[in-house]
Structure formats: C-alpha cells, structure tokens
C-alpha cells in the first residue's frame, strides 16, 4: 500500500475539504486490484462454460445477458454480496487508516461494497450503465463527513467514461430528498461548475464527499467499464448520532425468486 507522508496527507485533507474530491494515485498495488477483476470474471466464466458461450469477454457477457438474463443478474448479485476479495479490499487496514486520517473518528461501512461492470449492451435502461447526475448522501443518510472511495478495477481512459465530479458542489448540501431508480438525482447546472474527469489506473483511488455532485461519463470505446466503490460513515458524528443512525437500505429475500426456483424441483 502507498505510504503517505504527513505533508501529502495534509494536502489530501485540504483538497477533500475544499473540492470535495481528491485523486490518490498508486494507493494500492495493481496486482491486488487485478485479483478482484479476475475473480469477478471467473464467476461469469462458470456460466459461460455451462452454456457453452465462446468468444471474447464482451461478446460472452452480451450473450449471457441477452439469452440468460436471470443468470447474468444472479452473477452480479453474488459478486456484490460475497466476492471475498472485494470485501477484503473494503476493510484493508491501509484504507481504513486513511479514512481515520481524513477525520472519520469511528469509520464504518454503511452500504455493501459495490462492483460495477458497465456497458450499454449490458443494460436494459441507461441508468444501469451510466448513472445520472446525483449525490450519494441522500440515499445513505450517513454522517456529515461520510465519504466514498471509488476506484478502477482496470485501467480506465476517458473513453471508458469514468466518473465526472463537480468540485466544490459538496458545499451546497443535500439538493434533493427524492430517490428515483436508486439515485438521488439533482437539478444542477453543469456549466456553472468546474468538472473533474481524469484517467485512472489500477491501484489509484478517488475519495469524495457523499454530498459531491457527480455522474458517469460516456463509454465511447466499446469496452466494459470495471470499477467499484466503498462508502464509509463516521459513527462519532454528532448529527448522525442525534438522528439515531438512520439506515435507508433494505436487504431481504425475494419470495418471487424463491417460488420460481423451488417450482423447478
């Protein structure tokens, strides 16, 4: 992991406070991130083999999506809920120490780790591969100083459509109280704010305030955009304590899916 000097950490904290977002190159070793990439792909590969799906990886993914949608979705769910390497990264000691160094006295994950494999051909609607302009905080109701750590699972060029951030927008506070399609979309004038969208490589991380306005970029290279993010709240934040630790996410089994698969037997 990258060792941050006191001067570097001070500058990271300053940028996070001022801009609401900071890029930290080379925080992790690339091979650690590549292992997550390969393990996620391996889950899909099991189903490619079962259905005798051949070709390059994108064409295999598209065929599974188009012809075996339930299986495709299940692969994604299993990655999100149980990819061991993904969870290990989310609680990596160096990353947790960074959250503390950035001011989260008692950091705690407030949502599950999320891994994304985005492409227009792997989505029924645009928001499944290109997130609208939004803030994360509203969907979390986390501490005022809560943060997101976003990182590429592969080297991402601008053609992959990495996240577009709007520095300074976190100072506006919550801009909506509504959730649509899982996102707290906001009415926001892009032209009135600076924009940050940069190429990022395996091992780089981007830390940003959950109040920062951001959105996905446009995929223009016909490649899958692999990325992930982790969300951390501060259990010692006074307002979070006063609010009683709200947690708006609901995780429960689907009776519809249970009925569907039990009827097969």
What is the pLDDT, as a whole number, of residue 62? 98
pLDDT at residue 183 is higher than 90: no
What is the pLDDT, as a whole number, of residue 211? 96
3-state secondary structure of 42: helix
pLDDT by residue (tens digit) across 110-146? 999 999 999 999 998 877 788 889 999 999 999 999 9
What is the pLDDT, as a whole number, of residue 148? 98
CA–CA gap between residue 90 and residue 178 (Å, rounded): 28
CA–CA gap between residue 167 and residue 149 (Å, rounded): 15
What is the pLDDT, as a whole number, of residue 1? 60
CATH no., domain 12-249: 2.60.120.620
Domain boundaries, the chain: 12-249
Q: Say which DSSP state 54 is in.
A: -
3-state secondary structure of 21: strand
pLDDT at residue 43 is higher than 90: yes
| C-alpha separations of 20 from 43, 81, 145, 171, 174 in Å | 35, 28, 10, 8, 14
What is the pLDDT, as a whole number, of residue 185? 82
What is the pLDDT, as a whole number, of residue 155? 98
> How large is the average pLDDT for residues 246-257?
89
Average pLDDT, the chain: 94
What is the pLDDT, as a whole number, of residue 67? 98
Mean pLDDT is lowest, of 31-45, 47-61, 245-259, for 245-259
Percent share of the chain, pLDDT over 70: 97
* Residue appearing with tokens 């160094």: 101
pLDDT at residue 182 is higher than 90: no
What is the pLDDT, as a whole number, of residue 238? 97
> How large is the average pLDDT for residues 189-212?
97
CA–CA gap between residue 235 and residue 249 (Å, rounded): 17
pLDDT at residue 198 is higher than 90: yes
User: 141 — alpha (psi -120 to 50), left (phi > 0) or beta?
Assistant: left
What is the pLDDT, as a whole number, of residue 130? 84
| C-alpha separations of 234 from 19, 108, 238 in Å | 20, 6, 9
What is the pLDDT, as a whole number, of residue 179? 76
What is the pLDDT, as a whole number, of residue 37? 98
Distance of CA 181 to the CA centre of its chain: 16
What is the pLDDT, as a whole number, of residue 123? 92
pLDDT by residue (tens digit) across 217-241? 999 999 999 999 999 999 999 999 9
Band of residue 2 on the pLDDT scale cut at 50, 70, 90: low
Mean pLDDT is lowest, of 42-46, 59-63, 95-99, 130-134, for 130-134
> How large is the average pLDDT for residues 155-173?
97
CA–CA gap between residue 53 and residue 61 (Å, rounded): 9
- Phi and psi angles of residue 229, each rounded to the nearest 5 degrees, phi first: -145, 155
**pTM for this prediction:** 0.93
Written as six digits, the tokens of 261 are: 């698969």
């Amino acid at each position: 992991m990258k060792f941050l000097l006191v001067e570097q950490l001070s500058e990271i904290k300053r940028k996070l406070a001022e801009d609401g977002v900071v890029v930290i190159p080379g925080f992790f070793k690339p091979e650690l991130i590549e292992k997550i990439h390969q393990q996620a792909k391996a889950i899909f590969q099991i189903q490619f083999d079962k259905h005798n799906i051949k070709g390059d990886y994108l064409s295999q993914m598209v065929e599974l999506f188009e012809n075996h949608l339930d299986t495709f979705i299940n692969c994604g769910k299993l990655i999100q809920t149980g990819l061991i390497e993904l969870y290990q990264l989310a609680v990596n000691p160096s990353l947790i120490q960074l959250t503390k160094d950035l001011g989260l006295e008692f950091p705690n994950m407030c949502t599950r780790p999320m891994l994304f494999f985005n492409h227009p051909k792997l989505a029924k609607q645009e928001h499944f591969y290109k997130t609208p302009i939004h803030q994360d905080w509203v969907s979390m109701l986390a501490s005022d100083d809560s943060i997101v750590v976003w990182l590429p699972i592969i080297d991402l060029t601008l053609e992959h459509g990495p996240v577009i951030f709007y520095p300074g927008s976190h100072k506006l506070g919550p801009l909506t109280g509504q959730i649509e399609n899982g996102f707290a979309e906001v009415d926001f004038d892009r032209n009135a704010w600076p924009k940050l969208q940069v190429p990022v490589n395996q091992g780089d991380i981007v830390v940003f305030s959950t109040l920062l306005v951001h959105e996905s970029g446009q995929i223009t290279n016909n490649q899958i955009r692999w990325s992930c993010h982790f969300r951390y709240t501060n259990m010692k934040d006074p307002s979070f304590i006063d609010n009683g630790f709200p947690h708006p996410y609901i995780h429960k089994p689907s009776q519809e899916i249970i009925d569907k698969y039990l009827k097969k037997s």
